[in-house]
């Protein structure tokens, strides 16, 4: 089991603190031990606690902005276990009466210290494993505690906002939440819904664009299948890999380095920055995902594109079955893309099924968000 520098075990916390001090990050070490400072202003304080993932921090920043529009009187605090300035700062621009920084570990003394310093009216756990000592102490002190995209807690909380039906059923069966909201995925709210023509306008007329995403280890087999196909001379292929820094050198053009010049058929484009996801999803005729996180999946569906996936994608998102084909082998992906290129109108019609699913999810999420914000307003 990996060591958790933000958990309740003493040794991993001490190791992380020592490492931070030695590397000039004493502020992070102090925060880990609960030495946080509340924003210097009057008003009730609402604490949004996120975790170490980009998705968690991004969602926390979005919720913080939404709460600010609803509660102008409140001081807001957003904590995280890993910093993502590019996700947080643009979403909080122009906001006041808020605090931002690394959060505490779950050592009992650190939990006592941070609750004493912040004295929160409400604690919102955002897409992060619930920390037992923190949740139990907050509930004991009468803090309003809600779990947003978060697993089961050890003590009852005020409300739970699950992402999927499995988690929702667990909350209902255990009775650990006073209210269990309809399961919805807020990642659909973060996807760009407007088509972007930047990429499509720079390719030859009639040249289709395809997008393959998957682990770096799976790329060589897909590359060989692509190069052996007629599509390699008549279409463009966009490629993104995980981890994103595993791009092979000497192959293709990175979109982050593209100078908006015309692109020839046969060009290989590396999607090396998630900022390009909306443009690529809008331009592509077909997308194949060998596994993907929710942010990427919703962006692809928002782009109204013909989708296929491997076994892992279809297992993780079984509801994709009516709108995505399961194609585990690179040769099957190429054959499917060739069929789509031969019938682009039919391909777009089939892709509209995914876009309708995206808009349905977004409307459901908005309803849940409205109820969530009303609850925060009523505190």
pLDDT in tens, 115-127: 999 999 999 999 9
| Residue-level pLDDT at 274 | 87
pLDDT per residue over 60-95, tens digit each?
999 999 999 999 999 999 999 999 887 787 777 778
Residue 146: strand, helix, or coil: strand
Question: How many helices (DSSP H) and strands (DSSP E) are in the chain?
Answer: 15, 14
Question: Greatest CA separation found in the chain?
Answer: 67
* In contact, 199 and 305? CB cutoff 8 Å: no
| Residue-level pLDDT at 248 | 64
Give, as one character, the DSSP assignment of residue 49.
E
Q: Where in the chain is the domain with CATH 3.40.50.11720?
A: 25-183
Tell me the HSE value of 364 on the side-chain side, using a 13 A CA sphere: 18
Question: Six-digit token pair at 268?
Answer: 């290989």
* In contact, 356 and 193? CB cutoff 8 Å: no
Question: Six-digit token pair at 251?
Answer: 């192959």
Does the domain at residues 200-360 carry the CATH identifier 3.40.1710.10? Answer: no
| Residue-level pLDDT at 233 | 93
Stretches in the chain below the pLDDT threshold 70:
1-2, 195-197, 244-250
Classify domain 25-183 at the CATH topology level: Rossmann fold (3.40.50)
Cα 19 to Cα 26, 27, 33, 82, 100, distances in angstroms: 9, 12, 14, 15, 22
- Partnered with residue 270 across adjacent β-strands are 239, 254
* In contact, 113 and 141? CB cutoff 8 Å: no
This prediction's pTM: 0.88
Q: Where in the chain is the domain with CATH 3.40.50.2000?
A: 200-360
pLDDT per residue over 339-373, tens digit each?
998 988 888 888 889 999 999 999 999 999 999 99
| Residue-level pLDDT at 252 | 84
| Residue-level pLDDT at 1 | 39
């Amino acid at each position: 089991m990996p060591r958790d520098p933000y958990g309740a075990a003493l040794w991993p916390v001490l190791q992380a603190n020592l490492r931070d001090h030695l590397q000039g990050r004493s502020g992070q070490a102090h925060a880990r031990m609960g030495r946080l400072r509340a924003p210097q202003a009057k008003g009730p304080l609402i604490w949004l606690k996120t975790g170490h993932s980009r998705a968690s921090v991004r969602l926390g920043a979005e919720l913080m902005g939404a709460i600010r529009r609803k509660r102008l009187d409140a001081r807001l605090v957003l904590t995280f276990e890993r910093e993502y300035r590019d996700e947080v700062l643009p979403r909080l621009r122009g906001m006041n009466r808020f605090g931002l920084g690394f959060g505490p570990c779950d050592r009992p003394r650190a939990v006592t210290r941070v609750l004493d310093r912040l004295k929160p009216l409400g604690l919102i756990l955002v897409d992060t494993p619930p920390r037992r000592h923190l949740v139990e102490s907050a509930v004991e002190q009468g803090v309003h505690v809600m779990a947003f995209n978060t697993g089961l807690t050890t003590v009852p909380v005020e409300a739970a906002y699950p992402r999927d039906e499995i988690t929702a059923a667990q909350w209902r069966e255990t009775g650990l939440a006073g209210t269990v909201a309809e399961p919805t995925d807020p990642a659909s709210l973060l996807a760009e819904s407007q088509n972007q023509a930047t990429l499509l306008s720079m390719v030859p007329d009639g040249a289709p664009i395809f997008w393959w995403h998957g682990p770096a280890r799976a790329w060589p087999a897909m590359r060989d299948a692509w190069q052996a196909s007629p599509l390699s001379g008549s279409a463009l292929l966009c490629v993104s890999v995980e981890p994103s820094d595993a791009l092979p050198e000497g192959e293709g053009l990175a979109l982050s380095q593209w100078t908006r010049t015309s692109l020839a058929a046969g060009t290989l484009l590396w999607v090396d920055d998630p900022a390009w996801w909306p443009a690529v999803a809008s331009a592509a005729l077909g997308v194949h995902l060998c596994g993907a996180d929710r942010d990427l999946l919703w962006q692809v569906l928002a782009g109204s594109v013909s989708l296929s996936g491997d076994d892992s994608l279809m297992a993780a998102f079984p509801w994709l079955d009516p709108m995505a084909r399961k194609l585990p082998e690179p040769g099957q992906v190429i054959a499917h893309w060739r069929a789509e290129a031969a019938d682009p109108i039919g391909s777009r019609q089939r892709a509209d099924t995914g876009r309708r699913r995206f808009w349905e999810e977004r409307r459901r999420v908005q309803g849940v968000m409205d109820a969530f914000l009303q609850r925060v307003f009523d505190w």
